[in-house]
Amino acid sequence: MATGACISAAAVKAASVVNYENAGTIEFVVSNDFSFYFIEMNTRIQVEHPVTEMVTGIDLIQAQLLIAQGEPFDIEQEKIEIQGHSIECRLNAEDPAHQFRPSPGLITSLRVPGGFGVRMDSAVYAGYEVLPYYDSMVGKLIVHAETRELAIAKMLQALSELEIGGLKTNRAFHLEILNHPDFLEQRIHTKWLETDWK
């Protein structure tokens, strides 16, 4: 059984053992030899849920609302197919050059990329003020393509088209990571930014 299928089976088993009935996320970390290890279970939709939606075609928010209303969730695990590759970049009002210091302020201009397989989840607009009291995330840019290489190319294009004027964001930081040889050759790990970045 492929690693992805094994992880899915382990997640289903974990949810079944505790009689969990709703949308949620079970996280694992995968090692170089494709062994995987449980991290945590979140009984809520994760920030990264658009990636799952893009590769499965399932609207997880709609599913969660239907389940909460008592409607049956009629999609069987065995029938869920993963198609292609998806990448999500969280866009934050922060300054990576200064230890990711928050960068609240007024968004003076906004140009959002579009096209097939490109999605932007956000509520901001030109004239929106990012306040210093809350999470610094201003949006999530998500792409989907047939392969990892095509998804990277699509995200690079989408990030280059994205414009959030008036405050500092981590957009350029995402571009640097996506162009980094370690990322391109899949040599990153959970401590990569601390130990190997630059």
The percent of the chain in helix, strand and coil, each rounded to the nearest 5, is 35, 25, 40
Task: Report the C-alpha gap between 41 and 28 in whole angstroms.
Answer: 9
Task: Report the C-alpha gap between 127 and 130 in whole angstroms.
Answer: 10
SS3 118: strand
Task: Report the C-alpha gap between 92 and 151 in whole angstroms.
Answer: 21
Residue 14 CA neighbour count, 13 Å, CB half: 18
Residue 124 sits at φ, ψ, to 5 deg, of: -85, 165
List active site positions: 44
